Chain A
Amino acid sequence: MRVSLISALAGFVLALVPVTGETPVLAGDTPAPKDAYLYIGWPNDGEIVRKRRFRVWFGLRNFGIAPSGIKKKNTGHHHLIVDAPLPPLDEEIPADKNHLHFGAGQSEAFVELSPGKHTLQLIMGDHDHVPHNPPIISKKITITVR
């Protein structure tokens, strides 16, 4: 039942494409290798953090860092999403208190959060702060600040 529903849905989506005449945009224009791997090195998922101000390590494999504005193959810069869902993947990542930009090329940063539960997630942005294609996204983790 479920399978047929999914295939029906897929069929519907496929049917839509020729009608609209374009492929749906799901990512930016800057290519990224499929094996690029982004993760939060610390804190761990479920960590109880005993300080309100703490350091977050940005883990990145098979990809490099470049400051914002620098266009170079297989590079980008980190963005930390705090207590928010992923932004649209085909436009500039917002810059506000829920979307922290590290356009100077940082690989770790201090974050200050109020006591309670918080979610953290990393996403790479290209020279223009737009996610890559495919987008490079870490697992979203939940931490508790004491």
Chain B
Amino acid sequence: MIKSALCAALAVVLGAGVAYAGNTPAPKNSKVYIIWPKNGQVIHGGKFWLRMGNRGAGMAPAGIKKANTGHHHLIIDAPLPPFDEEIPADKNHLHFGGGQTEVRIELPPGKHTLQLLMGDHDHVPHNPPLFSRRITVTVPK
């Protein structure tokens, strides 16, 4: 509710026709979340399987255009990228174009942020964009 009000306000402020999301409609009532780790989790050794959670939408590999599907992107130690263009592919933006729902991650000691963002067949976020809460994990020295 707040999010959509904010988006609407933004659209008004920036003028009509400004793209703040991709062209692929997001599945209704879907939710993206990180199943594990939990926010605030301390991860000894820094190696873990990250579980990607998705309710109400399905997974499809990159390149597959099908309603109500997309694929996961994991954002590590970075803010959300622009919603109206392709999600970058680098060490801070991991793509799971194979339709994966889990990934083995290795993080160096320190605090890290993790956030999921769904991308459509072209790696562009949906409209409205589907992203998880950003969580923080700590890898002890």
| Contacts of A41-75 to chain B: CB distance below 8 A | 41, 57-61, 63-67, 70, 72, 74-75
Nearest-neighbor residue (CB-CB) of B27 within chain A: A104
Give, as a whole number of angstroms, the nearest-CB distance from B78 to chain A. 24
Cα of A57 to Cα of B66 in the assembled complex, Å: 22
Cα of A139 to Cα of B54 in the assembled complex, Å: 22
Q: Is B24 an interface residue (CB 8 A)?
A: no
Determine the chain B residues whose CB is within 8 A of the CB of A72 once the complex forms.
61, 64, 99
Determine the chain B residues whose CB is within 8 A of the CB of A59 once the complex forms.
51, 101-102
Determine the chain B residues whose CB is within 8 A of the CB of A61 once the complex forms.
49, 102, 104
B54 touches A66 (CB 8 A): no
**Contact-residue size bin, chain B (C-beta under 8 Å from the other chain):** 20 to 34
A64 touches B98 (CB 8 A): yes
Q: Is B88 an interface residue (CB 8 A)?
A: no
Determine the chain B residues whose CB is within 8 A of the CB of A102 once the complex forms.
58
Q: A57-B53, A75-B61, A107-B59 are in contact. Are A65 and B68 (CB under 8 A)?
A: no
Give, as a whole number of angstroms, the nearest-CB distance from A105 to chain B. 3
A67 touches B53 (CB 8 A): no
Determine the chain B residues whose CB is within 8 A of the CB of A75 once the complex forms.
61, 98-99
A67 touches B60 (CB 8 A): yes
Determine the chain A residues whose CB is within 8 A of the CB of B35 once the complex forms.
41, 57
Nearest-neighbor residue (CB-CB) of A61 within chain B: B102
Q: Is B69 an interface residue (CB 8 A)?
A: yes
Nearest-neighbor residue (CB-CB) of A74 within chain B: B98
A66 touches B61 (CB 8 A): yes
Q: Is B100 an interface residue (CB 8 A)?
A: yes
Q: Is B76 an interface residue (CB 8 A)?
A: no
A/B interface sample: 17 pairs, CB < 8 A: A41-B51, A57-B53, A61-B49, A61-B102, A61-B104, A64-B61, A64-B96, A65-B58, A67-B58, A67-B69, A70-B61, A72-B61, A72-B99, A74-B98, A104-B68, A107-B52, A108-B54
- List B residues at the A interface (Cβ < 8 Å): 35, 49, 51-55, 57-61, 64, 66, 68-69, 96, 98-102, 104
